[in-house]
Structure 1
Amino acid sequence: MQRKLPMSESTLQILEQVAEEASSDERRVSPMQIAALLVEDAAKGLAEQLQQD
């Protein structure tokens, strides 16, 4: 699988673990969904820091 967001194997493994924990029988969460949430959260935090400076 080719990822659109390059990352190390160890990071992907962490995302896979988190996705597995967040998934249930009714809802499947992918590692890339977790990655997208983390990127959005980090971008929001950076934007807030820039506004404070």
Structure 2
Amino acid sequence: MIIVGIILLLIGLFAKIAIVWTIGIIVLAIGLILLVLGMAGRAVGGRRHYY
């Protein structure tokens, strides 16, 4: 999710499409939250690690 978020951010930035840029930020934030929860040892979506 983090990589998809970064790709969407770059596409939105270079193509000047605001909605793609916004979706990229949201996907990136969700990916980072899941990464932090997984690294903290908390089960996310039935998995012990999410990365």
Structure-2-length-normalised TM-score? 0.48
State which structure, 1 or 2, has the greater radius of gyration over its C-alpha atoms.
1
Q: Which has the higher relative contact order, 1 or 2, with Cα contacts under 8 A spaced 6 or more apart?
A: 2
